Amino acid sequence: MLTISNLDFRVEARPLFEGASATISKGWKVGLVGRNGTGKSTLLRLIREDVENPSADSSIRLGTGARLGWVAQEVAPGDETILDIVLACDEERAALMKEADTATDPDRIAEIHTRLVDIDAWSAEARAAEVLMGLGFAHADLARPTREFSGGWRMRAAIAGVLFSQPDLLLLDEPTNYLDLEGAAWLESYIKRYPHTVIIVSHDRELLNRCVTHTMALEHRQLSICPGGYDDWLKLRAAKVAQLESQRAKQEADRAHLQAFVDRFRAKASKARQAQSRVKMLERMQDITIPISERTTPFSFSTPEGKLAPPMLELQEATLGYGEQAVILDEVNLRLDPDDRIAIVGTNGQGKTTLVKSIAERLPLMDGKRVVPKAVTIGYFSQDQMDELTLGETVLDHVRRALPRDTSVARQRAVAAGMGFSHEKVETKVDKLSGGEKVRLLLGLMAIEQPHVLILDEPTSHLDIDSREALIYALNEFEGAVLLITHDVYLAEATADQLWLVKDGKATRYDGDLQDYRALVLRADRNETDQNWVKKTQNKPEVADPKASTTTRDKAENRRRNSEARKAAQPLKEKARKAEQRMARASKRLEEIDVDLATPGMLSDALQDLMRDRAATAEDLEQAETDWLEATEAYEEAVNAH
Same domain, 249 and 105: no
Cα–Cα distance measured from residue 371 to residue 358, given in angstroms and rounded to the nearest whole number:
12
Per-residue model confidence (pLDDT) at position 564: 65
Per-residue model confidence (pLDDT) at position 214: 92
Domain count, the chain: 3
**Domain final position from 171, 200, 234:** 234
Cα–Cα distance measured from residue 630 to residue 624, given in angstroms and rounded to the nearest whole number:
10
Per-residue model confidence (pLDDT) at position 600: 66
**DSSP track, 236-259:** HHHHHHHHHHHHHHHHHHHHHHHH
pTM of the model: 0.63
Same domain, 24 and 152: yes
* Among 375, 337, 332, residue whose Cα is nearest residue 356: 332
* Among 231, 185, 220, residue whose Cα is nearest residue 31: 231
Same domain, 229 and 247: no
More confident residue, 306 or 96: 96
Taking residues 420-447, what's their average pLDDT? 84
CATH number at residue 599: 1.10.287
Cα–Cα distance measured from residue 327 to residue 322, given in angstroms and rounded to the nearest whole number:
7
Beta pairing, strands 341-345 & 481-485: parallel
Taking residues 565-590, what's their average pLDDT? 77
The string of pLDDT tens digits covering residues 333-363 is 999 888 888 999 888 778 888 999 999 888 8
Cα–Cα distance measured from residue 488 to residue 458, given in angstroms and rounded to the nearest whole number:
9
* Among 355, 333, 358, 360, residue whose Cα is nearest residue 343: 355
CB neighbourhood size of 299 (10 A): 25
Residues in the chain: 642
The string of pLDDT tens digits covering residues 286-303 is 665 555 555 677 888 887
Quick one: pLDDT band at residue 197, thresholds 50, 70, 90? very high
CB neighbourhood size of 52 (10 A): 7
More confident residue, 342 or 642: 342
Same domain, 41 and 170: yes
Phi then psi for residue 324, to 5 deg, are -95, -25
Burial 506-543 (b: 16+ CB within 10 A, else e): bbbebbbbbebbbebbeeeebeeeeeeeeeebeebeee
225 in a structural domain: yes
262 in a structural domain: yes
CB neighbourhood size of 144 (10 A): 15
144 in a structural domain: yes
Query: Mutual orientation of helices 106-118 and 91-102 as an angle, nearest 10°?
Result: 150
**120 has pLDDT over 90:** no
Q: Across the chain, what does the average pLDDT equal?
A: 79
Same domain, 253 and 199: no
Beta pairing, strands 59-62 & 2-11: antiparallel
**543 has pLDDT over 60:** no
Quick one: pLDDT band at residue 405, thresholds 50, 70, 90? confident
Same domain, 265 and 147: no
Same domain, 135 and 267: no
CATH number at residue 27: 3.40.50.300
Same domain, 106 and 201: yes
Taking residues 565-581, what's their average pLDDT? 75
* Among 148, 494, 502, residue whose Cα is nearest residue 353: 502
Q: Is residue 174 classed exposed, middle or buried when 0-12, 13-18 and 19+ CB atoms within 10 A define those classes?
A: middle
Query: Mutual orientation of helices 604-640 and 570-597 as an angle, nearest 10°?
Result: 160
578 in a structural domain: yes
More confident residue, 284 or 619: 619
Same domain, 112 and 259: no
462 in a structural domain: no
383: three-class secondary structure by DSSP: coil
377 in a structural domain: no
* Among 27, 36, 49, 136, residue whose Cα is nearest residue 439: 36
Cα–Cα distance measured from residue 628 to residue 622, given in angstroms and rounded to the nearest whole number:
10
Same domain, 73 and 157: yes
* Largest distance between two CA atoms of the chain: 120
Quick one: pLDDT band at residue 542, thresholds 50, 70, 90? very low
311 in a structural domain: no
More confident residue, 239 or 372: 372
The string of pLDDT tens digits covering residues 126-160 is 888 888 888 888 888 888 888 888 777 888 888 88
12 in a structural domain: yes
137: left (phi over 0), alpha (psi -120 to 50) or beta: beta
Q: Which residues form the domain of 586?
A: 569-640
Same domain, 176 and 271: no
DSSP 271: G
Same domain, 263 and 194: no
102: three-class secondary structure by DSSP: helix
